[in-house]
A and B are shown apart, each in its own frame.
Chain A
Amino acid sequence: MALDSETVRRIAHLARVRVPEEELELLAGELSNILGWVEQLGEVDTETVPPMTSVVAVRLPMRDDRVDDGDAPDAILANAPDGAPGFFAVPKVVE
């Protein structure tokens, strides 16, 4: 599967990663190479094979639905690049 620059631009937007215009073509080439290489998986007959859903055979445990941590707004906000007291601040999203 060969990707063109337009597809890379679209994926980059989906991933919310800015890619400079002049790098789109190089990336399209690199990603096409990688996807071309993984295409060899097509040689494997997996018709009757279920996809792996759990690496180790364990049942996901249930736990009690109760609060066991929290009430630490200052610690949670301490690393925020921008914040008003008690809040994370983001650019305006509602006009």
Chain B
Amino acid sequence: MAGLTDLTLADCRAGLAAGDFTAEELTRAHLDALEETRPLNAFVTETPERALEMARASDARRANGQAGLLEGLPVAVKDLFCTEGVQTTAGSRILGGFAPPYESTVTAKLWAEGAVMLGKTNMDEFAMGSSNITSHYGRVENPWRAAGSNRALAPGGSSGGSAAAVAARAAPAATGTDTGGSIRQPAAFCGIVGMKPTYGRCSRWGIVAFASSLDQAGPITRTVRDSAILLRAMAGHDPKDSTSVPRDVPDYEAALTGDIRGLRIGIPAEYTMDGMPEAIVGLWERGKDWLKAAGAEIVDLSLPHTKYALPAYYIVAPAEASSNLARYDGVRFGLREAGDGTDLTEMYEATRGAGFGAEVRRRILIGTYVLSAGYYDAYYIKAQRVRSLIARDFREAFETVDAILTPTTPTAAFPLGEKMDDPIAMYLNDVFTVPASMAGLPAISVPAGLDGDGLPLGLHLIADAFEEETLFRVAGVLEEAAGFTARPGMAG
């Protein structure tokens, strides 16, 4: 069936309800697109049989008058979410072949609402990266190309497989996770919508842990409405994650009123960077004009500790990672290398030396160093103090504004292979997304325009904790005004 893969989640939901097509037809169309776009390497594991089985079960439920929030809607799942009986690798060699005996809370909620799993998407190893080059299962390609060039571009990361799959119409929606920008940066690079909810909004149970005080699951979709639809199903309290908050989940879609009259939108001075491409500066200006034209008030403000968010992040995140990744010991699951076979320590070192890639190893070592005796206060506690200041900046800002508008990334998608020799240059990709992560705040990237080379650029909105409805409302207006309809060259 032609055209089915161009439908949004909301369109699919309406078409299924009206009986225009079945969940099985919709799933088959996406499985075909998934095959066509296979050169992108967006998936680590495709699950076509399970998808068709789930789609047929969904059609049967609908025939019986039962329909969940996501009934019959195909979804791709980042390979960081544990899926019962389906290989979950986190992009790492060390988890190759690992078939979890349980389902993550977020994916379990999707299936309970009737969604259909297309497969598991590729990602930077253990979600550490901004390019999708660090995956053990090969790099992912961005479905976009610069005008007049056939050079492969990075899809962003770490949820680059999810973003590439959704942009290429292999899936109408996907789950992602965001620790410092891993949903929003790839969404910007791929011309789609990526949303990170407030820390605690979605359960982290069953998501392979990277940095526990920062990790948060969120939706990757092509429209703001679809983002609202998917988040509603993903969010909610879970007794198995003590940091998930016991709050009701609102109907986020209902927040898309299109009315932002009287809302105050902050523009932080510190997000203007030297050497920022003209296209991004111009887009940010247009973003302000669009929101102003819709009746919002634009307010200049200051978030004075912004420049310290990224260096503080590169202490906190590796510290937590070095602790979380201690569990990969070659004993209970995943890879085991005996080494010279002498003893247990030899086995640990050989297993972890062989199982982790260069970026993960780098971060484990940094994390181990900053947590080691004599350095803990100077690095880790210092970074957590700076983090308190970053959160305070935002708290004070949200006393006077309802949302904050910034660019999502300092550049458009860069060619695959660039920035690999310089870790810090790669880290700078997340300079605009990390501050909200450090403060645990909800944020969204909306595709808002193309640069001179025809590559997509995103605008980024940040709201106060648990103000996802405000975030969606403003994002909806931004999306409408931007009228982004461009499609990538490679789409199923």
Q: Which residues of A contact B (CB under 8 A)?
A: 3, 7-8, 11-20, 27, 30-31, 33-35, 37-44, 46, 49-53, 55-56, 58, 60-61, 63, 72, 75-76, 78-82, 88, 90-93
Q: Which residues of A contact B386 (CB under 8 A)?
A: 41, 44, 46, 49
18 A-B Cβ contacts within 8 A? Answer: A11-B372, A16-B352, A20-B353, A31-B362, A31-B366, A34-B366, A41-B311, A41-B383, A46-B382, A49-B386, A50-B388, A52-B213, A55-B439, A56-B245, A56-B440, A61-B239, A76-B101, A93-B344
Question: With A56-B199, A78-B99, A78-B101 in contact, is A11–B311 under 8 Å at CB?
Answer: no
Which A residues lie within 8 Å of B307 (CB)?
40
B102 to A, closest residue via Cβ: A75
**A90 in contact with B331 given A46-B386, A79-B99 (CB within 8 Å):** yes
Q: Is the interface of A mostly helix, strand, loop or mixed?
A: loop
**A91-B245 in contact given A14-B368, A27-B362, A51-B381 (Cβ < 8 Å):** no
**B residues near A12, Cβ cutoff 8 Å:** 365
Nearest A residue to B367, CB-CB: A15
A sample of 12 more A-B contacts (CB under 8 A), given A30-B423, A81-B335, is A31-B362, A31-B365, A38-B383, A40-B308, A51-B381, A52-B384, A55-B214, A56-B199, A56-B243, A80-B331, A81-B331, A93-B344
Q: Is residue B417 within 8 Å, beta carbon to beta carbon, of the partner chain?
A: no
Is A38 a contact partner of B379 (Cβ separation < 8 A)? yes
Which B residues touch A50, using CB under 8 A?
A: 385, 388
Closest partner residue, chain B, to A26 (CB atom) = B358
Given A40-B311, A81-B336, A88-B331, A33:B423 Cβ within 8 A: yes
Q: Closest 6 CB pairs between A and B?
A: A18-B353, A51-B384, A55-B440, A81-B336, A46-B385, A79-B333
Asked if A82 contacts B242 (CB within 8 A), the reply is no
Contact B341 A91 (CB under 8 A): yes
A-side contacts of B246, CB under 8 Å = 61
**Complex interface: chain B residues within 8 A of A34 (CB):** 314, 362, 366, 423-424
Whether B384 contacts A18 by the Cβ 8 Å rule is no
Q: Contacts A38-B315, A49-B389, A80-B333; is A15 near B343 (CB within 8 Å)?
A: no
Distance from B460 Cβ to chain A, minimum over Cβ atoms (Å): 19
Residue of A nearest to B311 (CB): A38
Count of residues in B whose CB is under 8 Å from the partner chain: 73
Closest to A40 in B: B311
Q: Is B458's CB within 8 Å of the partner chain A?
A: no
**Beta-carbon contact of B332 and A88 below 8 Å:** yes
- Shortest CB-to-CB span from B100 to chain A, Å, is 8
CB–CB B239/A63 < 8 A: yes
| Set of chain A residues within 8 Å of B352, measured between Cβ atoms | 15-18
B478 within 8 A of A: no
Residues of A within 8 A of B381 (CB): 51
- Confirm or deny: B268 has a beta carbon within 8 angstroms of a beta carbon on chain A: no
Q: Kindly state the separation between the CA atoms of A39 and B478 in the bound complex, as whole angstroms.
A: 38
Instruction: Give Cα A17 to B321, complex, Å.
Output: 14
Closest B residue to A57 by beta carbon equals B465
**Chain B 183-221 residues near chain A, CB threshold 8 A:** 198-200, 213-214
A42 to chain B minimum Cβ distance, whole angstroms, is: 8
Q: Are A19 and B388 in contact (CB under 8 A)?
A: no
Convert B111-134 into 0s and 1s, putting 1 for each residue whose CB lies closer than 8 angstroms to a CB of A: 000000000000000000000000
